[in-house]
Structures are given as C-alpha cells and as structure tokens.
Amino acid sequence: MSDNSHHLILGELVDFLSGKAITDTHDERYRQQIARHLVNDLGFDKSDIEARREITIQTTERSAVVIADFLVYMNQRAVMMINYAPGSLVTRRLPTLALSRLIFDYQIPFVVVTNGQDAELISGNTGKVEGEGISAVPGPDHHMIKSLPNEFETVSAKRRGQAEKIAFACLVDGSCMVENYCDEC
C-alpha cells in the first residue's frame, strides 16, 4: 500500500468496460461487479456506460476533483449515476445526490448509491429513495427508464451552489472550510 493511498493494492486487473489494465483493490473489484451487472444482468450496452467521470468542484478558494463511478446514458443523455462506497448507504445518499447535480446542466433522473452488496435507487429530482436492493436498479427496458420525459429538470444556480458545498464537504479529504480549525485539515 502506498503512503498516499487508503486502499490495499492487490496488483492489476482488466477493466470490464474498457479492457484496459487498472489497479486491483477491494473497492475496484466491487466496481467491476457493478459494471458486469449493468451489462450482463440489466442489458445496458458497454458503450452506454461511462466509468470514472472526473468532476471538478469548487468552493470559496479551493477546488478538488471527485469521481462519479458510472454514468449510464440513453439517447445521449445520462439517465442514471451510480456511485460505489463501502459501508452505510444512508450516509452516502446526500453527497451522491449532490454530485449528480454537478455533472451536467440538468438533473440526472436516477441516482444509485451502492456498497456492492446493497443499493438504493434515488430520484434525482426529489431525493427520495425509490427502491432498495440491487434488484431496484432499472435496466434500459424498465418502465422507469422508458417513461423518462424528453427534457430533464435544469439544475438551478442556487441548487448547484448548495450541491458543490455538500459534495466538497462530504467527498473531499481535508475539506474543512475553516482555516486552521482542525488538525486533520
């Protein structure tokens, strides 16, 4: 394990979506399992899934890059964002929902937070949990995906600003906004 990493490096593995060699960690193994589920079980085409989307978030005078694990597209629009995080799903809801409001000028309709064993399907517009369990994640032929409107809700500047603050505070290591407030920052 490197000094800068929180993850035990297990070697390399072949990324399911890209076919490229990537670093093998316990977390990456779950991400690969999720990617295989999206394609093999739900029926999405690999070309409809974007993995590891980098998003730059800024608050006051600081910025950071965070990752959206998977964006799933239909008709050139992201219809679902999926983020993996170990542990409790409840604590991951708000920052994942916030991140979904920072990628495009529109709100991604469905947000999934998963620990690789369980999942919650969240409405991007309302923030309400619409389904629980891996089986709640909709495939391309699911009525929830098929019945999406032609236009998605635009993320207002106010909502975007709030989302940046939440995402920065919850997803960025050392994100304390008050200078010299805590020893860890």
Q: Is residue 14 part of a domain?
A: no
Q: Quick one: tokens of 41?
A: 């079980």
**What mean pLDDT do residues 143-148 have?**
94
Instruction: Give the model's pLDDT for residue 183.
Output: 43
Lowest mean pLDDT among 25-29, 34-38, 143-147, 172-176: 172-176
Closest CA to 99 of 21, 33, 171: 171
What's CA 86's distance to the chain center, in Å? 13
Alpha helices (H) along 101-183: 143-146, 157-171
Domain count, the chain: 1
- Residue 173 or 155, more confident: 155
What pLDDT was estimated at residue 99? 95
Q: What is the 3-state secondary structure (H, E, C) of 90-114?
A: HHHHHHHHHHHCCCCCECCCEEEEE
Tell me which residue range forms the domain holding 66. Answer: 50-171
Instruction: Confirm whether 113 is domain-assigned.
Output: yes
The answer to whether residue 13 is domain-embedded is: no
Q: Is 27 a domain residue?
A: no
Q: What is the pTM of this model?
A: 0.86
Identify the CATH number of the domain in which residue 94 sits.
3.90.1570
Mean pLDDT (the chain, rounded): 87
Contacts of 135 by beta carbon, 8 Å cutoff, 6+ apart: none
Kindly state the average pLDDT of the residues 49-72.
Answer: 90
The two tokens of residue 36 are: 């295989």
Closest Cα partner for 35 from 97, 92, 82, 85? Answer: 82
Q: Is residue 5 part of a domain?
A: no
Closest C-alpha to 101, from 170, 171, 59, 159? 159
Cβ pair 70, 82 in contact under 8 A: yes
Residue count of the chain, please give it.
185
46: helix, coil or strand?
helix
What are 63-110's pLDDT values in tens digits?
889 999 999 999 999 999 999 988 888 888 999 999 999 999 999 999
Q: Give the C-alpha separation, 135 to 182, whole Å.
A: 41
